[in-house]
Amino acid sequence: MKLFLPNEHVKNVFQIKPDDLKERGIKGIITDLDNTLVEWDRPDATPELIEWFQLMKDSGIKITIVSNNVEKRVKLFSDPVGLPFVYKARKPMRKAFRRALRDMELQKDEVVVIGDQLLTDVLGGNRLGVYTVLVVPVAQTDGFVTKFNRKMERRILGWMKRKGMINWED
């Protein structure tokens, strides 16, 4: 069950600050797209998100989007903001995470994985041995597969709370 336990939990990506990352030796971010950065049905980055990307870039922190979604969706979002991406990642499999590490030319102890799902982002990052940050989903609605994952996540989180493994609110 520890593979489902994120290292950190925040309300949104904007609570993740470059100075805090740099203090821990972090030089790169692997982030999910849908319901982590923007709503799963929003095609573009918000002005606030564009500003956050620039803040990270100005601080020397690389960002790569790793998404289970199709190329068209991820490219449409990533290209205008100039971020590299991996699509059809098949998270929680490690291959896409390894590709992102290789493309950023970073080691796993220099990277954080940020995502909104335990069963894909957190599990995948933890399986690779990377520091993981769980964010509250941006939207209250999900696609079909994610709806199933959310039900499983609620059970896992409930078990973790009962065992005293986590202390944050949903």
Give the model confidence (pLDDT) of 36-48 as tens digits: 999 988 999 999 9
**Residue ranges of domains in the chain:** 2-162
Q: In this predicted structure, what is the pLDDT of residue 49?
A: 97
| pLDDT at res. 109 | 97
14-27 mean pLDDT: 97
Say if domain 2-162 classifies as CATH 3.40.50.1000: yes
pLDDT tens-digit readout, 68-102: 999 999 999 999 999 999 999 999 999 999 999 99
Nearest to 5 by CA among 152, 163, 148, 160: 160
CA distances to 43, 116, 144, 146 from 149, rounded to whole Å, are 22, 11, 9, 5
Query: Whole-model pTM?
Result: 0.89
pLDDT surpasses 70 at 169: no
- Which residue carries 């573009």 as its tokens? 44
At residue 50, does pLDDT exceed 60?
Answer: yes
* Span 144-150, average pLDDT: 70
Q: Is the pLDDT of residue 167 over 80?
A: no
Whether the pLDDT of residue 14 is over 90: the answer is yes
At 116-127, the pLDDT tens digits run: 999 999 999 999
Q: What is the pLDDT of residue 102?
A: 98
Selected residue with higher pLDDT from 62 and 165: 62
Burial class of residue 1, CB neighbours in 10 A (0-12, 13-18, 19+): exposed
